[in-house]
């Protein structure tokens, strides 16, 4: 939780990057009608750190970002940037850069006017505006498109304009709300690298909201996982990927096989569990798992081994329901005789209806207390 930011500002970073941007969020709470969108949200973000908020839609991550941007007024809580509480400061006086999911470019202004807008609002002298606008456009490789209107640009180019417009004001904090979700897969990858490159170059404290775990893993210094308005786990990509603390986090990071179990004996962190249909499995107990209690077991598709029946050691007898070719492997839906359905990932193609034996390494089957 107290992981150091992996990325320090690059030595070649411009002067703006050396401005501090240490964010402390305390007890941020927001209720819409009867729904708690954000509940007691606490987060510390180091200067220059790239932090992602990850979660399914409706988990409160966008509300958190809108509260930080000042576009939604929190019911309670403090937003401290370098020690100054901004929770009641209107967005126009926060000086944060915001990149919206829909880009929200000014459709009636050229690319150049869009980028210059923030500087003009700050009252920057017009020669300086022109210069900084050019630099910002160069930063996102749009030097030649300054005279175009947003409607004349592709989605990726619009995204770059939105980035340049947010970066040109040299914000202490950069907020990005699902910025890649409107792009196609190829462009998304390209813009992801672009965002990564800009962050390394400028070292801006960045708060990034996404529902895409791959984006979060690849971009972030740290990831915060949210569900139902509550921050469930914060850690480095490696921490949350390899050591999920709850079944929800595990499920989000590829533990696609999740089932309710009853816990048998727990010894040395090893738990014997019984899944529905009487299927017995051995797994690794996470904190809070007790003998005789209800629990949730989770395992990744690639950690379930599929073999032909009749091996020496005992496994889970099962039948293949269907197999999908996913490029580098096959994903099969396999039904254990006890009734539980596993999604497994195997290098070999299994025909439909084939009898197989499943084996699960106990160190790869995680047992969590129920949520």
Partner 1 sequence: MQRAAGARAGPGALPTARHGGVRWGPLVPIVPALLVVLVLFVYPFAYGLALSVHPIGSLAKGGMLANYAAFFGTPWERASIWNTLRLAVPVSALDLAMALPLAYRLRRPLPGQRVITALLVIPMTLGTVLLAEGMIEFFGPAGWANKVLLALHLVRMPVQFVHNYTGVFISLAIADFPAVFLVLLGYASGLDPRVEQAARTLGAGRWARLRRVTLPLLAPGIAAAAALSFVATFSVFPSAVLVGEPAGSTRVIALAAWQAAYEQFDYPRASAIAMVMAAIELVFVALVLAVRNRAYRGPTIGGRG
Tokens of 252: 């989000």
Tokens of 125: 């002298």
Torsion 141-144-150-153 (CA) sign: negative
Closest CA relative to residue 340, chosen from 322, 317, 362, 361: 317
Our CB check for partner 1 shows the closer of 94 and 199 to be 94
Contact 87, 74 (CB under 8 A): yes
Q: Which stretch binds partner 1 (CB under 8 A): 75-83, 101-109, 224-232, 343-351?
A: 101-109
Nearer to partner 1, 165 or 188 (CB): 165
Using rule CB under 8 A, residue 125 touches partner 1 = no
What is the edge-to-edge ordering of all strands in the sheet holding 316-325?
304-307, 355-360, 316-325, 330-336, 341-346
Nearer CB in complex with partner 1: 5/118: 118
Q: Round to whole Å and give the CA distance between 95 and 142.
A: 24
- Which range binds partner 1 by CB under 8 A, 17-25, 98-106, 256-264, 306-314? 98-106
Report yes or no: 206 and 199 within 8 Å, Cβ to Cβ: yes
**Using rule CB under 8 A, residue 244 touches partner 1:** no
- Residue with smaller CB distance to partner 1, 175 or 249: 175
Per-residue b/e over 175-213, b at no fewer than 16 CB within 10 Å?
bbbbbbeebeeebbeebbebbeebbbebbbbbbbbbbbb
Q: Does 315 bind partner 1 (CB under 8 A)?
A: no
The nearest distance, CB 175 to partner 1, in angstroms, is 8
CB of 100 to partner 1, least distance (A): 5
129-188 residues in contact with partner 1 (CB under 8 A) are 149-155, 158, 162, 165-166, 169, 182
Residues 321/332, Cβ–Cβ less than 8 Å: yes
Contact residue for partner 1 among 91, 146, 362, 369 (CB under 8 A): 91
Between 16 and 182, CB nearer to partner 1: 182
Least distance to partner 1, CB of residue 139, Å:
17
Of the candidates 138, 150, 170, which has an alpha carbon nearest to the alpha carbon of residue 102?
A: 150
Contacts of 76 (CB under 8 A, 6+ apart): 27, 28, 29
Cβ neighbours, 10 Å, residue 98: 23
User: What minimum distance in Å lies between the beta carbon of 17 and partner 1?
Assistant: 20
Q: How far is the CB of 117 from partner 1 (least distance, A)?
A: 5
Query: Closer to partner 1 at the Cβ: 83 or 123?
Result: 123
Which one of residues 2, 11, 33, 92 is an interface residue with partner 1 (CB under 8 A)?
A: 92
Nearer to partner 1, 155 or 307 (CB): 155
Question: Which residues of the chain form contacts with partner 1 (CB under 8 A)?
Answer: 69-71, 90-98, 100, 102-108, 117-118, 121-122, 149-155, 158, 162, 165-166, 169, 182
């Amino acid at each position: 939780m107290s992981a150091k930011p992996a990325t320090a500002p690059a030595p070649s970073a411009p002067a703006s990057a050396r401005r501090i941007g240490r964010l402390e969020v305390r007890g941020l709470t927001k209720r819409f009608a009867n729904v708690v969108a954000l509940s007691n949200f606490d987060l510390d973000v180091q200067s220059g750190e790239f932090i992602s908020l990850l979660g399914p839609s409706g988990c409160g991550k966008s509300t958190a970002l809108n509260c930080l941007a000042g576009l939604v007024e929190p019911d309670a809580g403090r937003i401290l940037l370098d020690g100054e509480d901004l929770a009641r400061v209107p967005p126009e006086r926060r000086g944060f850069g915001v990149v919206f999911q829909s880009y929200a470019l000014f459709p009636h202004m050229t690319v150049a006017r869009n980028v210059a807008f923030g500087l003009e609002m700050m009252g920057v002298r017009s020669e300086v505006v022109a210069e900084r606008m050019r630099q910002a456009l160069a930063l996102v490789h749009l030097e030649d498109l300054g005279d175009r209107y947003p409607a004349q640009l592709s989605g990726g180019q619009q995204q770059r304009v939105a980035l340049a417009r947010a970066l040109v004001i040299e914000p202490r904090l950069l907020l990005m709300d699902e910025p890649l979700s409107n792009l196609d897969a190829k462009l998304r990858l390209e813009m992801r690298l672009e965002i990564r490159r800009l962050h390394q170059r400028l070292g801006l404290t960045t708060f990034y909201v996404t529902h895409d775990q791959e984006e979060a893993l690849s971009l972030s210094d740290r990831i915060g996982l949210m569900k139902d308005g509550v921050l469930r786990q914060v850690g480095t990509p490696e921490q949350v990927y390899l050591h999920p603390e709850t079944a929800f986090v595990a499920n989000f990071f590829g533990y696609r096989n999740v089932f309710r179990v009853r816990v048998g004996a727990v010894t040395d962190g090893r738990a014997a569990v019984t899944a529905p249909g009487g299927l017995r499995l051995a797994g690794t107990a996470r904190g809070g798992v007790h003998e005789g209690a209800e629990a949730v077991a989770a395992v990744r598709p690639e950690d379930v081994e599929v073999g032909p029946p009749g091996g020496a050691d005992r496994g889970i007898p099962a039948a293949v329901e269907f197999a999908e070719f996913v490029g580098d492997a096959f994903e099969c839906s396999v039904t254990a005789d006890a009734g539980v359905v596993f999604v497994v990932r195997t290098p070999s193609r299994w025909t439909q209806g084939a009898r197989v034996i499943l084996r699960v390494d106990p160190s790869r089957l995680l047992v969590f207390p129920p949520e």
